[in-house]
């Protein structure tokens, strides 16, 4: 049975559909578009094309599909060009629609292509990883990476619909599931203390009966944040809170070249660093830092770098973060479990100490 919630953004509002198997719902949407004379195209990655071939066929039939290589390196200018050329080759017009079937990389890349092609066409998210289900598929942030930093090029382009089917997680590698749990843990820390407490009691797994409810809970919280601050323009708090752990995490990804750590793994280390910074700022205590480390570890996530990274390049990467305003970096800090805040004017030495405590040198 498929259930839905709505992201309320006026004329840009859209539904998020939840169920074990959403293939019939996706196929119904595709058929309705085609029946209305609108062309449809799909972008996915090679891993999904191999492990979920039947599901892809059930959702999209014989509609044209571009299969890209998996991995963060695909979020590049070169691959954006491939998607745009694909749309042109299929003669997609302004009435056409692009479906992004895959994880966060595919969703971000295809969404940005949809925002750019013909100055904007409709697109739909069909997330197939836990991370993309609870985070990147909702909210309309699309984009690609540059050598200078992560997600530095992109657009706000809301999907027309999101289809979240937990059955698709059956073939997800354990490491990828764990990476998604970093965003679930982040959600508990920034706005749902009860969820964090639930994760402390027992680790969430792909077999957990409450998995679907947890995914919906994360999406509902993110939808509320996006509704209040769609374009991340709030002077304090707002949508920036969703980046808890990401200022540190994105720096790790950039310095290691986007291939060494999965996004969720870098975010997990970033959460460990962010809670340490929060302790140095007097918001949380050592016991709470240990609790965050314990939950991350229980979900097979790292709390320290696998090998030391030089502090200089990490801090330089931070300085290029999107949350920099007027040359000053803002951090998302934990005031208490379930309560995060943005904070500027943070002594860089405190950030450096926090990075050192998770393995920087």
**How much is the pLDDT for 188?**
97
Q: How many CB atoms lie within 10 A of CB 200?
A: 16
| Choice among 150, 160, 216, 246 that is catalytic | 246
Buried residues in 143-175 as b, exposed as e (16+ CB within 10 A): bbbeeebbbbbbebbbbbbbbbbbebbeebeee
Whether 260 is a known active-site residue: answer no
Cβ-contact 273, 355 below 8 angstroms: yes
Largest Cα span, the chain = 60
Fold for 174-357, please state it. Dehydroquinate synthase-like, alpha domain (1.20.1090)
User: Any bridge partners for residue 125, and if so which?
Assistant: 100, 162
Condensed to tens digits (0 to 9), the pLDDT of residues 38-57 reads 999 999 999 999 999 999 99
**How much is the pLDDT for 326?**
59
**How much is the pLDDT for 271?**
98
| Choice among 186, 216, 217, 263 that is catalytic | 263
| Choice among 150, 157, 216, 239 that is catalytic | 239
Whether 335 is a known active-site residue: answer no
Whether 53 is a known active-site residue: answer no
Whether 243 is a known active-site residue: answer yes
What stretch of H or E contains 271? helix 263-280
Whether 250 is a known active-site residue: answer yes
| Choice among 75, 216, 250, 283 that is catalytic | 250
**How much is the pLDDT for 149?**
83
Classify domain 3-171 by CATH number: 3.40.50.1970
Buried residues in 339-357 as b, exposed as e (16+ CB within 10 A): ebbbbeebeeeebbbbbeb
Whether 236 is a known active-site residue: answer yes
Whether 201 is a known active-site residue: answer no
Whether 283 is a known active-site residue: answer no
| Choice among 69, 89, 210, 236 that is catalytic | 236
| Choice among 39, 150, 222, 283 that is catalytic | 222
Whether 285 is a known active-site residue: answer no
Residues of the chain predicted below pLDDT 70: 322-327
Residues of the chain with CATH 1.20.1090.10: 174-357
Cβ-contact 134, 76 below 8 angstroms: no
Whether 141 is a known active-site residue: answer yes
> How far is Cα 212 from Cα 229, in angstroms, rounded to an integer?
26
**How much is the pLDDT for 345?**
84
- Quick check: pTM over 0.85? yes
Handedness of CA 227, 231, 234, 236 (dihedral sign): positive
| Choice among 151, 243, 253, 299 that is catalytic | 243
**How much is the pLDDT for 342?**
92
| Residue whose C-alpha is closest to residue 42's, from 102, 2, 132 | 102
| Choice among 141, 160, 276, 299 that is catalytic | 141
Handedness of CA 148, 151, 156, 157 (dihedral sign): positive
| Choice among 11, 62, 119, 147 that is catalytic | 119
Residues of the chain with CATH 3.40.50.1970: 3-171
């Amino acid at each position: 049975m498929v259930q839905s919630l709505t992201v309320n953004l006026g004329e840009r509002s859209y539904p998020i559909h939840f169920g074990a198997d959403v293939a019939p719902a996706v196929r119904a949407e595709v058929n309705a578009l085609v029946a209305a004379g609108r062309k449809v195209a799909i972008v996915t990655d090679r891993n999904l094309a191999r492990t979920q071939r039947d599901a892809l066929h059930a959702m999209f039939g014989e509609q044209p599909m571009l299969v890209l290589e998996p991995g963060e390196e695909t979020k590049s200018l070169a691959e954006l060009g491939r998607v745009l050329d694909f749309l042109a080759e299929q003669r997609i017009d302004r009435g056409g629609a692009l479906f992004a079937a895959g994880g966060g990389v595919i969703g971000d890349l295809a969404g940005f292509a949809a925002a750019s092609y013909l100055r904007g066409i409709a697109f739909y998210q069909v997330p197939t990883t836990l991370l993309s289900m609870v985070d990147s598929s909702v909210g309309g942030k699309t984009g690609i990476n540059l050598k200078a930093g992560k997600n530095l090029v992109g657009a706000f382009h809301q999907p027309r619909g999101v289809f979240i089917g937990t059955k698709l997680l059956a073939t997800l590698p354990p490491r990828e599931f764990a990476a998604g749990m970093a965003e679930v843990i982040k959600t508990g820390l920034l706005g749902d203390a009860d969820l964090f407490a639930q994760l402390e009691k027992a680790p969430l797994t792909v077999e957990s009966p409450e998995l679907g409810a947890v995914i919906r809970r994360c999406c509902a919280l993110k939808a509320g944040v996006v509704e209040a601050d769609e374009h991340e323009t709030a002077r304090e708090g707002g949508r920036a809170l969703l980046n808890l752990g990401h200022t540190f995490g994105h720096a790790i990804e950039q310095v290691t070249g986007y291939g060494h750590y999965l996004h969720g793994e870098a975010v997990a280390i970033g959460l460990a660093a962010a809670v340490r910074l929060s302790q140095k700022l007097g918001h949380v205590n050592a016991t709470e830092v240990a609790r965050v480390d314990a939950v991350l570890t229980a979900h097979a996530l790292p709390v320290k770098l696998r090998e030391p990274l030089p502090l200089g390049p990490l801090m330089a990467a931070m300085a290029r973060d999107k949350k920099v305003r007027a040359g000053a970096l803002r951090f998302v800090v934990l005031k208490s479990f379930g309560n995060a805040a943005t904070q500027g004017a943070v002594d860089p030495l405190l950030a450096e100490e926090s990075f050192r405590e998770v393995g920087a040198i």
